Structure 1
Amino acid sequence: MPPTPTVIGGPEPAGFGSCRSCAFFETGSIALCYSCANDKMRPPPEHRCDVCDQALTNPVAVCSNALCSSTDRAFVWNASIALKSGELEQMIWRVKKGRWAWGTVFSRVILGFLYDNMEEIDGVDAIIPMPALLPAGADPRTDHARFAIEQAMEQDERGLPFVVDPPLLIKTRATDKMRNTSSAADRRAVSDQLFESLVVPDAERVRGREIMVYDDVFTSGSTLNAVARRLKAAGAAAVYGLTLARQTWR
């Protein structure tokens, strides 16, 4: 990416992570905010898995994420915009703590990435948020993925195939949290729970289509895999993932 564009005759951007105090927080362009974010975000490594963006020791190394080579994998690949670290990690944490306005910035980052990588969505028929089930009376912005996609739809300048309402996929009941798992067996169990909780309301809107699912963080891919399994069971031709941040494995 080129350096952050200079704003002639006006203030400079405050810098990614200081967005709330930035003069362009409400009015910043997609190009300006994405370029500013790229000054601070860590991109996925040069040598990485073609499926999950996990770092590899060399170009021909086998990914340590077992799902990538499993016959149970239902998604094609996941594209991560950046690694979950630094300012981006802090901003994701703030959103999860209820500071929803960061979702507007995230939407510009999502759009900027897609505009710069249009080959990632070549043939994609729909870009949807990871489905969530909110408690009764919850602020709808608590659904972080949906809120970011809604904001992206409002700011999109190229007619990207975002779909929110009516949803292609819904979650019908609560499931255990993937972040609380500590083993591959635990992740499979929670993934199965999630699969059983998901419903495609209208299979005709899914059948034969290629669908991209957006989420804020990708770790092992177990959540995305459950969603892909359900969509493909309803007839989807292919499922891809798009995430703001790739969790680095330690």
Structure 2
Amino acid sequence: MPIDLEALEPAPAGLDACASCAYRVAGTPAVCFACTVAGGAAPDRPACVVCGQVVDDHGSCPNTVCGVDDRYFSRLYTVSDRAEEMWRAVYRFKYGEERDLAEVLGRILVGFLEDNREELAGYDLITTGAIYVGPRAHRLWDYLQVIVEEARRHGPGWPFAPGLIAKSGPTGRFLGISPAERRRIAEGELRSALSVPEPERVVGRRILVFDDVYSEGFSLREMARVLLEAGAAEVAGVVFARRKGG
């Protein structure tokens, strides 16, 4: 990894065409990850040292939390810079409930981890962002855990530990609201709802928190906060894409 996609026969259908791709079922993390990042261009301007997003003319990151002093997480890893294509795949899985995309997304996650093994193997645990699936939930399935279970199947050597962070109830939805509203929900409802049920599992550990999309960083900030308070040594995040308003 990386793999030469042009050498494959048949050729992969492309990220937006996973449903018709010959490798949807028969593929590997190497193939799916390479397809996901193919065509992505490296930024030709200075990038944020926290999340990799291109900074503005004043050197500021458009993602709010990257610039705050009490960020709590050390950095944010992004699987693909093809944000819109990646978001469409996540959206179809998460909201359209195309649940068989879980295998593709799991392979993509493992492919990214393998491609960055030298750096990411230093994390002791890879957990999921907290999702509430109780009787008052917006949706009754933990889509992040489903992806991680597929990732565990394709990458059994990685220290996947879903569910280290618990969420006790529903909170306001972040999709389509302003950064100020996101911050209000995160620092209020979300902060009150998060906990680490088994702190002994995280004490002294370097933890990577997997989520689907990074928009401003408020959710990751709260999850990093609760893990550090439970004794974690470091918290970082990994997402499929950075996308404002996602």
Q: 1:137 to 1:176 in 2, by over 3 A?
A: closer
In 2, are the aligned partners of 1:4 and 1:32 still within 8 Å (CA)?
yes
- Paired residue secondary structure (2:14): coil
What is the distance in 2 between the residues matched to 1:84 and 1:130? 22
Q: What's 1:143 paired with?
A: 142
- Paired residue secondary structure (2:145): helix
Q: What's 1:76 paired with?
A: 74
In 2, are the aligned partners of 1:149 and 1:162 still within 8 Å (CA)?
yes
Q: Deviations over 1:138-186 (max 9, x none)?
A: 8x984221111111001115x111112xx321111111112353243x2
- Where structure 1 has 5 or more consecutive residues not aligned to the other structure, the ranges are none
What is the distance in 1 between the residues matched to 2:115 and 2:51? 19
Q: 1:229 to 1:22 in 2, by over 3 A?
A: same
Q: What's 1:155 paired with?
A: 154
Q: 1:182 to 1:15 in 2, by over 3 A?
A: closer
Residue 63 (structure 1) aligned to one of 56, 61, 64: 61
> What are the residue-to-residue correspondences of 1:1-16 with 2, within 5 Å?
1=2, 3-4=4-5, 6-7=7-8, 11-16=10-15
Letter in 1 for 2:233: A
Normalised TM-score (structure 1)? 0.86
Letter in 2 for 1:225: R
Q: 1:178 to 1:170 in 2, by over 3 A?
A: same
Q: Post-superposition shift, 1:57? A: 4.3
Q: Post-superposition shift, 1:76? A: 0.6
What is the distance in 2 between the residues matched to 1:86 and 1:168? 29
Q: What's 1:191 paired with?
A: 186
In 2, are the aligned partners of 1:83 and 1:247 still within 8 Å (CA)?
no
Percent identical pairs in the alignment equals 32
Between 1:14-23 and 1:217-226, the stretch displaced more is: 14-23
1:209 aligns with 2:205: yes
Q: Post-superposition shift, 1:137? A: 10
Q: Deviations over 1:185-214 (max 9, x none)?
A: x23321122121012111111111111101
Q: What's 1:39 paired with?
A: 38
Q: Post-superposition shift, 1:5? A: 5.2
In 2, are the aligned partners of 1:44 and 1:80 still within 8 Å (CA)?
no
- Paired residue secondary structure (1:49): coil
In 1, are the aligned partners of 2:128 and 2:164 still within 8 Å (CA)?
no
In 2, are the aligned partners of 1:141 and 1:147 still within 8 Å (CA)?
no
Q: 1:244 to 1:183 in 2, by over 3 A?
A: closer
Q: 1:65 to 1:21 in 2, by over 3 A?
A: closer
What is the distance in 1 between the residues matched to 2:136 and 2:84? 33
Q: What's 1:88 paired with?
A: 86
Between 1:129-138 and 1:78-87, the stretch displaced more is: 129-138
In 2, are the aligned partners of 1:11 and 1:23 still within 8 Å (CA)?
yes
What is the distance in 1 between the residues matched to 2:35 and 2:179? 37
| Structure 1: 4+ residue segments shifted above 6 A | none
Q: What's 2:49 paired with?
A: 50
What is the distance in 2 between the residues matched to 1:72 and 1:170? 22
After superposition, the CA RMSD in angstroms is 2.6
Normalised TM-score (structure 2)? 0.87
- Where structure 2 has 5 or more consecutive residues not aligned to the other structure, the ranges are none
Q: How many residues align?
A: 241
Q: What's 1:235 paired with?
A: 231
Q: What's 1:220 paired with?
A: 216
Letter in 2 for 1:69: G
What is the distance in 2 between the residues matched to 1:176 and 1:212? 24
Q: 1:222 to 1:44 in 2, by over 3 A?
A: farther
Between 1:170-179 and 1:45-54, the stretch displaced more is: 45-54
Letter in 1 for 2:183: R
What is the distance in 2 between the residues matched to 1:215 and 1:117? 17
